[in-house]
Structure 1
Amino acid sequence: MQSAFRILARRDHTTGELALKLRRKGYDRKAVDGALERCRDLGYLDDARTARTMADHLVTRGYGPLRIRQVLVQKGLEETLVEQVMAECQSEDDQVRAAQKVLGKKTSRLHRESDPWKRRQIAYRFLSARGFPSAVVNRVIDDI
C-alpha cells in the first residue's frame, strides 16, 4: 500500500499503470490486487477521472482527438471509457479552433516556404501528426 500511495502521490495513474508499476517492484498478484482495491475504495484510483484529466491536458497541449484516443488506449483504459471521454472531449468546431491555434505557432516555418502546395503539405503533415482528423485538417489548411 505504501508503494501504491507513493506512486499515486506524484500523479494520477490508471489501474493498469499502477498494477504494472507495483508488479515491477516485485509484489505478487494478490498483494497488487488488494492494493488496487483499497486505492479504489479510498478514491485514490479512478480511471474515469484520470482519463478525463489526461484528455484535458492533451487538448490544452494542442493534440487532436486521434492522438488523445491513442494515448488513452496505450494507458490501458477500457474502450467504453475511452469512447465516453472522447464524446465529451471536443466538437469539430472546437477541434478546428485548436488546430488553427497550434498551426499558428508554425507560421514562421510556413511563411518561409514560397510554394503554396508545399506549404499545405507541411501544415497537413504537422496537424495530422498532432492527431487531428483529415476533415479538420482540410478545413484549417483551406484558410492558408
Structure 2
Amino acid sequence: MQTKKQKPEPLERSGLKHAAVDLLSRRDYSRRELWRKLSPKAASSDDLEYVLDELAENNWQSDERFASMFLRSRAGRGLGPLRLRQELREKGISDGLIEWAFEESEEDWYDMAVEVARKKAQSLGSYSPEVKAKLWRFLSYRGFNSDQIQHALDDVSSGVSC
C-alpha cells in the first residue's frame, strides 16, 4: 500500500524570503525566474511580490547584475548576441536593460565569431562549400548575425586559421 505524499504548506513571507535567499546564495536569478520558482510554494502572490520587492530594495536580487553576469557567462561559451538577447528576454529582462548590458559588455562579437568558426572548422576538416554551409548554420544557431558570420567565414576561408 502506497502512502500519499502530503503537499507542503504554502509559505508565508518569511518562508518565501528564506527560500529566495537560499536560491540566490547559489547564483543570481532574474526576478521572473524567482517568481517562477517560488510562486508554486507561495501562500499568496501579494506575499511573493512583497518578498521580491524587498530583495530588490536590499540589492540581494538585481536584474541589472543578473543580465550582466548572464551575458558574460554565456558569451564565454561562444554564444552570439542574437541568441543572448533572446535568452535574456526569456528570463524576463526588459529590452532596455538588455541594451544596457550589451553596451556595458566589452565583447567583440566579430572576433568571437571568428574564434568560434575557427574552432568548429578544425573539427570539420578541409574547407569546402559543404563545410562553409555547415559553419554558416552553426554560427547562425549560436546567435551571430549575418555580418559577423560572413566576417568569420572570410577569415576561415582565407587560410588564416586552417
Same fold (TM over 0.5): yes
Following superposition, the deviation at residue 100 of structure 1 comes to 1.6
Larger fraction in helix = 1
> Is residue 98 of structure 1 aligned with residue 112 of structure 2?
yes
TM value normalised by structure 1: 0.89
Give distance in 1, aligned partners of 2:38 and 2:102. Answer: 29
User: Counterpart in 1 of 2:50?
Assistant: 34
Q: Which residue of 2 aligns with 1:138?
A: 150
Rg bigger for which structure?
2
Is 2:110–2:152's contact at 8 Å kept on the other side of the alignment?
yes
Structural RMSD (CA): 1.6
Deviations 1:1-58 (A, max 9, x none): 1111111112101111111211022331111011111111221111011100000111
1-side partners of 2:64 and 2:96: how far apart?
Answer: 10
Q: Following TM superposition, by how much is the alpha carbon of 1:60 offset from its aligned partner in structure 2, in angstroms?
A: 0.8
Instruction: Within 5 Å, give how 1:39-54 maps onto structure 2.
Output: 39-54=55-70
Deviation at 1:90, TM superposition (A): 5.0
Structure 2 counterpart of 1:123: 135
- Count of residues in Structure 1 that have an aligned counterpart in Structure 2: 140
Specify the alignment match of 2:123 in structure 1.
109
Runs (5+) with no aligned partner, structure 2: 1-16, 158-162
Moved over 6 A (4+): none
Q: 2:104 & 2:43 partners in 1: Cα distance?
A: 36
Q: Secondary structure at the match of 2:144?
A: coil
- AA at the equivalent of 1:142: D
Counterpart of 1:138 in 2: which secondary structure?
Answer: helix
